Chain A
Amino acid sequence: MLRLENLTVNYGPVAAVKGITLNVEEGEVVGVVGPNGAGKSTTLHAITGVVPPSGGEIVFEGASIVGELPERLVRRGIALVPEGRRIFGTLTVGENLQLGTTGRANKTTVDDDLERIFRRFPILKTYIKTPAGRLSGGEQQQLAIARALISRPRLILLDEPSLGLAPFMIDLVFETLNELKAEGRTILLVEQAASRTVAFADRSYVLNTGRIVLSGSRDELAGKADFAKAYLGGVIA
């Protein structure tokens, strides 16, 4: 479904991503882990068109999406749950969700989808008229996920969803992710919380200083934990 081929991204003279090749198949949950500065977020930024790749190819459902406008990506079926959540704090919860429907071709079933989302995140229904900035960090993360889901994406990108959350909130986020996985959704999850991510994803890639240093299925990576520990200083512990 999504394929990165030898992707490189430079920030000025600095190479942040140095030739990454990875793929996400339909219905698969893929994790990307690695320490700070490994190039995880940069990879997502390249996919979402925030930074232009300096080389390589990004293919979604058979077509290149390099150079595509950000507002076109969601119409193609890619939704992002961004790092730091980036909900609109001055807008109400309802307006945030309304914005999530902007890219939908079919708006007649929005109300049904909203009902489903409110069953999953009841707190959002309670706060529908509240400015989203007043929600707690965990509630904002729920909103960010809901805002992505309401666009009816075929691929969900999550950038560090556990970052800055209290431990029990992180549990809640992974609980939600497990539900999404059980529904058969296609997910690319970028996380620093490596062990949890590797245990959750079907397959994972380990990034360090812009390169993939390790990849494999959940079981394969479990067997290589010692190697990773030595190589990455305990990223997979």
Chain B
Amino acid sequence: MTALLLSIDLSKDFLLQNLVNAISLGSLYALIALGMALIFGIMRLVNFAHGDLLMVGGYALVLLAGPPWPVLLLATLAICALFALGMERIAFRPVRNASASTLLVTSFAVSYFLENGAQLIFSPLPKTTNISNTLIQSWQVGAIYIAKLNALTVALTLVLLALLGLFLGRTTIGVQMRAAAEDFGMARLLGVRANTVIAMSFAIGGLLAGVASFLLVAQTGAVFPTMGLAPVLVGFVAIVLGGMGSLQGAVVGGFLLGLISVTLQAYLPLTLRSYRDAFTYGIVLLVILLRPQGLIVARRERQRV
């Protein structure tokens, strides 16, 4: 037992360091989950091809390698948004009025198509790219290291959350999107164009995936055809955890998953550490058992007498 516990560092610095890491990882998860929640809210579609947008962004970064990172970031954003729009137009629009399971299967089909396409074009082997040398440097604060990339991750996430909040709250199309998420049929009867709000939700989801893709590749440096699988699963779990259809819930779910994952990585005894994901999802299951509706309940089509 003592030997088991000796591998755990209980110092305050170690705790703070892990908190920094957790916020950074949680930001990344929140970006992915938010994009998926936005589309789910309006279309009732869990888009499992969302993760493949990260892969598309990854290959874009490999192919474009060279310019300074802000240029790369903007290019990735644009390409991911375009692919998301294309996905909606080509794959999802024709089956929009079909059952939820048809939509789900369609999203798997899109995912397989993109992954196999990437395998054909780029081979299944990982490609590596170095986005920026500056971003991997760290600031040292006391005994804690804050990677510039982690700071950028958190800053970008906060800015994007604020911008999205303004967009949904203040613009006409934003109000239309919120209305459509609550009662799509009624929104249409008031004149809200289905094509516009759905395309907009995919475009924004694509932008968020683009940012996530950039941050992920900047961190790991590796790009491969199935790199979107793990993130999409995390995104899905985050929106279930947060409460399906709730945007705030998706963000909270993303941050929570990041926190749980980093905490377990840091504080699980060494021998158990390889089972980290099993523990993570065990905790998630527990939360869902206790609160099946998710942490934040999305209100829709609610009426009072």
On whether the beta carbons of B182 and A136 are closer than 8 Å, the reply is: no
Q: Assign chain A's interface to a size class.
A: 20 to 34
Q: Kindly report which residue of chain A lies nearest to residue B183, judged by CB atoms.
A: A86
On whether the beta carbons of B190 and A102 are closer than 8 Å, the reply is: yes
On whether the beta carbons of A99 and B175 are closer than 8 Å, the reply is: yes
List of A residues within 8 angstroms of B192 by Cβ? 71, 99, 102
Q: Which residues of A contact B (CB under 8 A)?
A: 48, 50, 69-71, 73-75, 80, 82, 84-91, 95, 98-100, 102-104, 133, 135-137, 140, 147, 151, 164-165
List of A residues within 8 angstroms of B299 by Cβ? 89-90, 133
Query: CA A160 – CA B303 in complex, angstroms?
Result: 15
On whether the beta carbons of A86 and B301 are closer than 8 Å, the reply is: yes
On whether the beta carbons of B189 and A82 are closer than 8 Å, the reply is: yes
Q: Which of the residues B172, B182, B189, B303 comes within 8 Å of A91, measured between beta carbons? A: B182
On whether the beta carbons of B178 and A70 are closer than 8 Å, the reply is: no
On whether the beta carbons of A136 and B304 are closer than 8 Å, the reply is: yes
Q: Could you jot down 20 A-B contacts, CB within 8 Å? A: A70-B185, A70-B188, A71-B191, A71-B194, A82-B186, A85-B303, A87-B303, A88-B179, A88-B183, A89-B182, A89-B299, A90-B178, A90-B299, A91-B175, A91-B182, A102-B176, A137-B303, A137-B304, A137-B305, A140-B304
Given A88-B187, A133-B299, A140-B304, 5 more A-B residue pairs with CB atoms under 8 Å apart are A70-B185, A71-B188, A88-B178, A89-B182, A89-B300
Asked whether B193 is an interface residue with its Cβ less than 8 Å from the other chain, the reply is yes
Asked whether B12 is an interface residue with its Cβ less than 8 Å from the other chain, the reply is no
On whether the beta carbons of A165 and B186 are closer than 8 Å, the reply is: no
CB within 8 Å for A133 and B179 given contacts A74-B189, A102-B191? no
Q: Assign chain B's interface to a size class.
A: 20 to 34
Going nearest first, the 5 A-B pairs with the smallest beta carbon separation are: A103-B191, A102-B191, A70-B188, A74-B191, A86-B186
Query: CA A15 – CA B141 in complex, angstroms?
Result: 73
Count, A-B residue pairs, CB within 8 A: 82
On whether the beta carbons of B305 and A99 are closer than 8 Å, the reply is: no
Query: CA A104 – CA B172 in complex, angstroms?
Result: 13
Q: Kindly report which residue of chain B lies nearest to residue A86, judged by CB atoms.
A: B186
Q: Which of the residues B188, B190, B191, B302 comes within 8 Å of A89, measured between beta carbons? A: B302
CB within 8 Å for A74 and B304 given contacts A86-B183, A91-B175, A98-B172? no
CB within 8 Å for A70 and B189 given contacts A88-B183, A133-B299? yes
Enumerate B187-214 residues with CB–CB distance to A below 8 Å.
187-194
On whether the beta carbons of B175 and A98 are closer than 8 Å, the reply is: yes
List of B residues within 8 angstroms of A147 by Cβ? 190
Query: CA A74 – CA B192 in complex, angstroms?
Result: 10
List of B residues within 8 angstroms of A151 by Cβ? 190-191
| Least distance between A55 CB and chain B CB atoms (Å) | 21
| Least distance between A160 CB and chain B CB atoms (Å) | 12
Query: CA A50 – CA B183 in complex, angstroms?
Result: 13
Most chain A CB inside 10 Å of its own CB: which residue of B172, B187, B300, B303:
B303
Query: CA A89 – CA B299 in complex, angstroms?
Result: 7
List of B residues within 8 angstroms of A82 by Cβ? 186, 189
On whether the beta carbons of B304 and A103 are closer than 8 Å, the reply is: no
On whether the beta carbons of A75 and B175 are closer than 8 Å, the reply is: no
On whether the beta carbons of B304 and A99 are closer than 8 Å, the reply is: no
| Least distance between B96 CB and chain A CB atoms (Å) | 12
| Least distance between B288 CB and chain A CB atoms (Å) | 23
List of A residues within 8 angstroms of B186 by Cβ? 82, 86, 88
| Least distance between A194 CB and chain B CB atoms (Å) | 21
- Could you give, for residues 289-305 of chain B, a 1 whenever the CB lies within 8 Å of some chain A CB and a 0 otherwise? 00000000001111111
List of A residues within 8 angstroms of B176 by Cβ? 99, 102
On whether the beta carbons of A99 and B188 are closer than 8 Å, the reply is: no
- Could you give, for residues 263-305 of chain B, a 1 whenever the CB lies within 8 Å of some chain A CB and a 0 otherwise? 0000000000000000000000000000000000001111111
